[in-house]
A and B are shown apart, each in its own frame.
Chain A
Amino acid sequence: MIAAAAPVQRPRDARLLVINAQGELRHAARAAWIDCLRTGDLVVANDAATLPASLHGTHLPSGAPIEVRLAGRASLAPGDVSFSAVVFGAGDWRMRTEARPAPPPLAYGDRIALGPLRAAVQGELGHPRLVALRFEGDAAAVWAGIASHGRPIQYAYMQQPLALWDVWTPIAAVPVAFEAPSAGFTLDWRSLARLRTRAIAFATVTLAAGISSTGDPALDARLPLDEPYRIPAPTAAAILKAKAGGGRVVAIGTTVVRALEHSRGVAGLGMADQRIGGGTRLRVVDAMLSGTHEPQESHYQLLRAFQDDATLARASAALEARGYRTHEFGDSVLIEAALHDGNKLLPGRSKAVTQGR
């Protein structure tokens, strides 16, 4: 596929590959994605705003340049300013992550200067480039420092530096994501109004979307890292209502699938630490609108919970043949879960459950 290299959230010519429950493929304009939904369906999006999580600075013990990419947090609490972070040596986003020099060796207690911020290494998290960091100062000073000094995490296929407004979805609320929940870029306010007109419900979850690539195969294999999330009570209620009425739950992006499947659609706080892949039975989500993911990406594994490998291979070939654009500003896929007997905890999509009543 072709890398989408310009930060346009809703390109007029954005395309959509629809993979229906039977595994049939259809090409459409992404602007028409709502036409693929039915009255009574529920659309669920991730309303996390994105932190400028890339912080450049200096490893104070060695004086060596370092880039810290904040990658995880134990909770969504405003006062929690301890992070896990992926560290890089010299260079910036213009260099492919695979080609980036390693950071200086980091030891427990090493201090790092990141613009106005100071952080201390609290230990390695199973890989020399994944560390626990604690910032000095109170939470307000840490957020102010991140807001002023941080830049959005971005990759070498982009043409220009990203601004924060490039990576905030229109519904971005609390800044807890480390990379944009980019499937939400498609949700402008007109489309939300259109959902309402068609009696399709809309709800949100908040999940601290982590980073999508580190350039290190061993570290990439650990992605996604654990992600804290919150399911609001009205969202849980909307899921029950949609299921009871035979509507489908349509997740906007992989992060929503993670949150809804981990929580089983129950309200509250949680930590999405599961792997979703070919062996996963989806219990809440019936369909997902997502970017176009390539087989080597961590996100691709999640698609295998929706459709079998043969169907996904056909979809990949179709995306390639038609020149779909990939990455966060690229084209989209709407994928419905294949129908399996007893695939669902809740009644709704599964014909088996409906027929069993």
Chain B
Amino acid sequence: MNSLKVAITGGTSGLGLALVREFRRRGAHVAFVARSPHAVEQIARLHQAHGIVGDVAHKEAIHPIALQITAALGGLDVLVNNASSLGPVPPALLADTACEELALALETNLLGPFRLTKALLGALTASAREERGAVVLNISSDAAVNAYAQWGAYGASKAALRHLSAIWNEELRADGVRFLSLDPGDMDTPLHALAVPQADAATLKRPETAARELVEAVEAALAKAHA
């Protein structure tokens, strides 16, 4: 992974941070995106990664983010769309969910990854043409498949992202870009604590474990591209 160029959204906490660590541990060059300038600066310094301040839920922020990713890394091989919004907190019945809350979940979990992937597709396909391989990993959830009451906004947005990944994987196969949609499982992360405050942390997966599994899945997809 010594020359691998990786971008991760939502890289300052939970799974995203664990992914930054894991990719760095394996020698990849990493750029990550998050909203808090302070946290971005800290994590960037700690892990010698390129920190980018931005919010993928904002249309106007996407190209500046994409520009900084490819300017910093000089290209891109792997994009991890990890940044995620839970929808209304505490969880709400769909009938009690405001349109704006659903829209926000879709902006963050569906349109954000769609826009960022589209803006970075030139860089990803360039990597594929140069036989470096190109992978987009979209972080999914069991809520993308199962209908959980009170998780309507989140579940619908994650289901849409999952299907988007599948279609993109079909459409861009010939261009050499592989799309993965993977569910890391229930993890001991700030997002999960927000979602299920009563959960026993001891029964939850460690984000480091999930990050290792995901990085291995990316590695396998890249190896397949080389084969």
Contact = CB atoms under 8 A, between A and B. Distances in A.
B71 interface: yes
Interface string A142-161: 01101110000000000000
B50 A173 contact: no
B73 A78 contact: yes
Interface in B48-102: 50-53, 60, 62-68, 70-76
Contact of A78 (B74, B76, B125, B172): B74
A173 B122 contact: yes
B188 to A, nearest CB: 31
A140 B67 contact: no
A17 B130 CA distance: 33
A51 interface: yes
A112 B186 CA distance: 51
A204 interface: yes
A174 B75 contact: yes
A281 B76 CA distance: 36
Contact of B52 (A52, A144, A203): A144
Nearest to A165: B63
A233 interface: yes
Contacts of A168: 63, 119, 122
Interface stretch (A188-196, A282-290, A300-308): A188-196
A171 B125 contact: yes
B63 A78 contact: no
A336 interface: no
Interface string A77-105: 11000000000000000000000000000
Contacts of B125: 171, 173
B129 A192 contact: no
> Which of A174, A189, A196: most chain B CB closer than 10 A?
A174
A170 B175 CA distance: 13
A164 interface: yes
B216 interface: no
B126 interface: yes
A234 B122 contact: no
A146 B68 CA distance: 9
Contact of A175 (B50, B51, B70, B121): B70
Interface in A220-272: 232-234
A78 B68 CA distance: 10
B161 interface: no
A192 B129 CA distance: 13
B67 A169 contact: no
B131 A234 contact: yes
A225 B60 CA distance: 31
Given A143-B72, A171-B122, A193-B174, A49 B67 contact: yes
B122 A169 contact: yes
Contact of A174 (B63, B121, B123, B175): B123
Contacts of B129: 203-204, 232, 234
A166 to B, nearest CB: 10
B122 to A, nearest CB: 4
A276 B11 CA distance: 47
A172 interface: yes
A41 interface: no
A67 interface: no
A179 interface: no
Contacts of A192: 175
Contact of A232 (B52, B73, B121, B130): B130
A175 B67 contact: yes
A193 B175 CA distance: 8
Interface in A14-64: 47, 49, 51-52
Given A164-B63, A234-B129, A143 B122 contact: no
A233 B76 CA distance: 17
B64 A49 contact: no
Nearest to B174: A196
Nearest to B127: A173
A174 B5 CA distance: 13
Interface string B157-192: 000000000000001101100000000000000000
Contact of B67 (A76, A143, A163, A189): A143
B130 A51 contact: no
Interface string B108-131: 000000000001011101100111
Contact of B64 (A77, A148, A173, A189): A148
A90 B36 CA distance: 35
Contacts of B126: 47, 171, 173-174, 204, 232
A173 B123 contact: yes
A140 B74 CA distance: 12
Contacts of B175: 189, 192
Nearest to B63: A164
> Which of A76, A139, A171: most chain B CB closer than 10 A?
A171
Contact of A140 (B50, B60, B75): B50
A79 to B, nearest CB: 9
A227 to B, nearest CB: 17
8 contacts: A47-B122, A49-B123, A144-B52, A147-B71, A165-B62, A168-B119, A203-B129, A232-B129
Interface of B: 50-53, 60, 62-68, 70-76, 119, 121-123, 125-126, 129-131, 171-172, 174-175
Given A170-B122, A174-B71, 8 more contacts: A143-B67, A147-B65, A169-B122, A171-B125, A171-B126, A173-B76, A174-B74, A204-B126
